């Protein structure tokens, strides 16, 4: 690609652009003469200077945009009332599932409005617990979060990773569980990794990167990940290099061990695609090598457990909706595999499998909601685990040698609750259930199936107060994602509850590109098929209008990350269909996403402008490049974080500037740029409440909703 860049040195203009009296005045953003040539197509990129997050100009632009946005939001009468209600709703005690290691039980708890949940430990499940790690003490504003905590096999040590201001970068420490004191160990410049303790507690495996250049910490491309072993009590610089591929800078690695500590597995991936490779090392054999086990990038392979050299492998090899097989290390050829839990005959997806108390606990996904079933080691089905309603099963926390396991369950009107499962008795008991200030019986959930543009049947959940009138006058929030094999299943959300309390309808569409129906569903919404995702979303909006749930003037859409791309594509393709839009931390520049941080890994879903075929597909739907001057776009509030090093804020900045300059209607185009915040994970409770209050207030004003109306 030839870049024809002739940057014109113009000062950033912060004066208001000329506009009709009724149109909100936003800052004029400087344009520069930057043009790229993609296979003979000239593409202008006048706001490229906004990619430099460290420049004084970009910081001034952020400040100017935020001033206009917060001035606008500050004049909305309902804003404080919405924030107060969100704060009250959010103030409830909540727990994570329990993890047991050795004699210790570990779990997270949030008292209600704590910015970060606190990790507790107790030797008895229902005895008073003590604080082990409180991230709220690490930063006064709550912007340091626990990214991951991994306990040693005997539960005496905890390796914990923390991140600052929402960054993906993780810093690791080791805490003694008995004393609560940290050891001197400290690891830096890791991301997209956990750790794996060896049996004797002498150290653990992890994946890391070289330190980035100064100034590139939040936007520089990250490549050449390596696997290391850290011996406790030593400096990171002395960590032993375990695995690398200098010829494959794009490959990413993870290390984990079987529960018996015998086998080390090195997982290798080359993108966000679920296909991986697995290498194995027998740690009980002195001098053993790391050798290939599954080496073709032809499917997903995950080791669930083992009996000696027999591995239990969760895979989609030969099963697009997954199965569980037994593989012998002595005869790993696929012809020798034994299927234990076969792929479903219908459309159900085997979502995940865990080993608990000499059993397999399997989560099955049916039409985007989940069921939990238990199986013997032989694969024979034993029993279903009763669940409260249509919803989602959280990660199952248990071990093969234990007779108990913990899992969470949630649904749209069922706050995330923790259950203890007794393997021998085959019974579940509620361990912790939040008490939220609402009446779940006042709401109803429906699942409908609608036809997309090409006739594909797409599921969609609709949640609202009972007694809703289908007169087309209900303010409605349509949410979607549609990508990366990620499934949207029912889940409790305080912010969505607040929306429904205000008479709103919440809608969650299960678009192609997700994993709701396995690989086929994912493949139907990626690469050259990506337009199907946008068609599914647009068809969902049209169905809601046709069935009298809402109308264009009352319909808002939202989504984050890949879902932000979804919203950006929807409003540029059908600006006439929506009344308002909330694209969050979105991938908006589809021609340059691969040039920042981990963006190159998304090529498995998006393709790349580096090829003619990829460019032709991306250029047709890239939100940034499909904004048309003079078009009337719906009111839009773009949100991002200044520390987002997953989808760099330049995506949102450039899209905002382009949309503001092109807007031919009177609807406001605003951006809300959170400081000391990243892609979303670890965002303090206080910031979550403020952001959601601003988003809902924006929609109330734009959709002309008066609080108190049903």
Confidence of residue 270 (pLDDT cuts 50, 70, 90): confident
Average pLDDT, the chain: 93
Residue 539 has pLDDT above 80, yes or no: yes
- What confidence tens digit (pLDDT) does each residue in 148-183 have? 999 999 999 999 999 887 778 899 999 999 999 999
Confidence of residue 680 (pLDDT cuts 50, 70, 90): low
Residue 645 has pLDDT above 80, yes or no: no
Give the residue-averaged pLDDT of 599-606: 91
pTM over 0.75: yes
pLDDT of residue 219: 65
Instruction: Give whole-number Cα distances, 587 to 483, 567, 637, 651, in Å.
Output: 12, 10, 15, 6
- What confidence tens digit (pLDDT) does each residue in 545-586 have? 999 999 999 999 999 999 999 999 999 999 999 999 999 999
- What confidence tens digit (pLDDT) does each residue in 681-691 have? 668 899 999 99
SS3 sequence of 237-291: HHCEEEECCCCCCCCEEEEEECCCCCEEEEEEECCCCCCEEEEEEECCCCCCCCE
pLDDT of residue 147: 87
Residue 90 has pLDDT above 70, yes or no: yes
Sheet with 276-282: strands ordered across: 252-257, 263-269, 276-282, 291-299
Name which of 39, 28, 57 is nearest 48 in CA terms.
57
Give the residue-averaged pLDDT of 480-488: 97
pLDDT of residue 271: 76
Residue 11 has pLDDT above 70, yes or no: no
Spatial CB neighbours of 700, under 8 Å, sequence gap ≥ 6: 76, 78, 82, 475, 502, 707
Greatest alpha-carbon span in the chain: 79
Local structure of residue 628 (DSSP, 8 states): -
Local structure of residue 515 (DSSP, 8 states): S
Residue 662 has pLDDT above 50, yes or no: yes
pLDDT of residue 544: 98
Give the residue-averaged pLDDT of 644-672: 94
Pairwise CA distance, residues 432 & 259, whole Å: 27
What is the percent of the chain with per-residue pLDDT over 70, rounded to a whole number?
Answer: 95
Name which of 555, 585, 612 is nearest 679 in CA terms.
585
Catalytic positions are 561, 679
Residue 272 has pLDDT above 90, yes or no: no
pLDDT of residue 679: 55
Confidence of residue 509 (pLDDT cuts 50, 70, 90): very high
Pairwise CA distance, residues 648 & 678, whole Å: 9
Give the residue-averaged pLDDT of 274-290: 95
- What confidence tens digit (pLDDT) does each residue in 223-261 have? 889 999 999 999 999 999 999 999 988 888 999 999 999
pLDDT of residue 221: 74
- What confidence tens digit (pLDDT) does each residue in 360-413 have? 999 999 999 999 999 999 999 999 999 999 999 998 999 998 999 999 999 999
Check if the beta carbon of residue 299 is closer than 8 Å to that of residue 319: no
Number of H helices, E strands in the chain: 10, 41
- What confidence tens digit (pLDDT) does each residue in 97-141 have? 999 999 999 999 999 999 999 999 999 999 999 999 999 999 888
pLDDT of residue 395: 83
Confidence of residue 4 (pLDDT cuts 50, 70, 90): very low
Give the residue-averaged pLDDT of 406-435: 97
Cα 611 to its chain centre, rounded Å, is 28
Residue 504 has pLDDT above 60, yes or no: yes
Beta bridge partners of 263: 282
pLDDT of residue 167: 79
pLDDT of residue 200: 96
């Amino acid at each position: 690609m030839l870049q024809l860049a002739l940057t014109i040195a113009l000062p950033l203009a912060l004066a208001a652009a000329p506009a009709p009296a009724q149109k909100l005045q936003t800052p004029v953003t400087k344009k520069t003469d930057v043009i790229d040539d993609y296979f003979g197509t000239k593409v202008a990129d006048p706001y490229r200077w906004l990619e430099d997050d460290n420049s004084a100009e970009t910081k001034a632009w952020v400040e100017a945009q935020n001033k206009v946005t917060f001035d606008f939001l500050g004049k909305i009468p309902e804003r404080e009332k919405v924030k107060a209600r969100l704060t009250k709703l959010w103030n409830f005690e909540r727990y994570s599932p329990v993890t047991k290691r050795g004699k210790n039980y570990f779990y997270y708890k949030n008292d209600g409005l704590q910015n970060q949940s606190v990790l507790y430990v107790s030797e008895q499940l229902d005895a008073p617990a003590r604080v082990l790690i409180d991230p709220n003490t690490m930063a006064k504003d709550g912007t340091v979060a626990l990214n991951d905590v991994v306990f040693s096999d005997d539960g005496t040590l905890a390796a914990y990773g923390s991140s600052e201001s929402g960054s993906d970068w993780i810093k690791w420490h080791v805490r003694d569980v008995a004393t609560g004191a940290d050891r001197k160990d400290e690891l830096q410049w890791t991301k997209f990794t956990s750790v794996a303790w060896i049996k004797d507690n002498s150290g653990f495996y992890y994946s890391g990167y070289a330190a980035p250049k100064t100034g590139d910490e939040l936007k520089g491309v990250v490549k050449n990940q390596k696997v290391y072993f850290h011996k406790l009590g030593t400096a990171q610089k002395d960590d032993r290099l375990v695995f690398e591929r200098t010829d494959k800078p794009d490959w990413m690695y993870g290390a984990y061990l079987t529960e018996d500590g015998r086998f080390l597995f090195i997982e290798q991936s080359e993108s966000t695609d679920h296909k991986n490779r697995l290498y194995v090392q027998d740690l009980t054999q002195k001098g053993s090598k790391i050798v290939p086990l599954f080496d073709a990038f032809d499917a997903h392979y995950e080791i669930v457990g083992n009996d000696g050299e027999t591995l239990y492998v969760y895979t989609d090899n030969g099963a697009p909706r997954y199965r569980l097989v037994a593989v012998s290390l002595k005869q790993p050829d696929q012809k020798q595999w034994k299927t234990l839990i076969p792929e479903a005959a219908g459309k159900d997806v085997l979502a995940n499998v865990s080993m608990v108390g000499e059993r397999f606990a399997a989560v099955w996904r049916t039409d985007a909601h989940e069921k939990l079933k238990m199986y013997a080691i032989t694969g024979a089905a034993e029993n279903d685990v009763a669940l409260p309603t249509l919803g989602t099963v959280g990660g199952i926390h248990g071990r093969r040698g234990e007779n108990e396991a913990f899992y969470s369950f949630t649904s749209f009107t069922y706050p995330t609750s923790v259950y203890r499962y007794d393997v021998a008795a085959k019974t579940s008991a509620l361990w912790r259930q939040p008490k939220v200030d609402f009446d779940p019986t006042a709401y109803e959930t429906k699942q409908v199936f609608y036809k997309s543009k090409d006739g594909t049947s797409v599921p969609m959940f609709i949640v609202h107060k009972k007694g809703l009138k289908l007169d087309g006058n209900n303010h409605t929030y349509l949410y979607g994602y549609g990508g990366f094999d990620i499934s949207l299943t029912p889940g409790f959300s305080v912010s969505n509850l607040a929306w429904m309390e205000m008479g709103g309808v919440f809608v969650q569409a299960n678009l192609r590109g997700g994993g709701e129906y396995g690989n086929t569903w994912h493949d139907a919404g990626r690469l050259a098929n990506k337009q199907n995702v946008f068609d599914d979303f647009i068809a969902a909006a049209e169905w809601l209008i046709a069935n009298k749930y809402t109308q264009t003037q009352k319909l808002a859409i939202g989504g984050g990350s890949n879902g932000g791309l979804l919203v950006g594509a929807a409003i540029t393709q059908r600006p006439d269909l929506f009344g308002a839009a909330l694209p969050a931390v979105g991938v908006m520049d589809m021609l340059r996403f691969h040039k920042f941080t981990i963006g190159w890994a998304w090529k498995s879903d998006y393709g790349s402008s580096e090829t003619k075929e990829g460019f032709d597909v991306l250029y047709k739907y890239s939100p940034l490049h499909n904004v048309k001057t003079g078009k009337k776009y719906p009111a839009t509030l773009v949100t991002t974080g200044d520390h987002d090093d997953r989808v760099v804020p330049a995506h949102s900045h450039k899209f905002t500037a382009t949309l503001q300059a092109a807007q031919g209607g009177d609807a406001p185009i605003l951006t809300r740029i959170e400081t000391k915040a990243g892609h979303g994970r670890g965002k303090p409770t206080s910031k979550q409440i403020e952001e959601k209050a601003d988003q809902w207030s924006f929609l109330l004003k734009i959709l002309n909703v008066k609080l108190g109306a049903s």
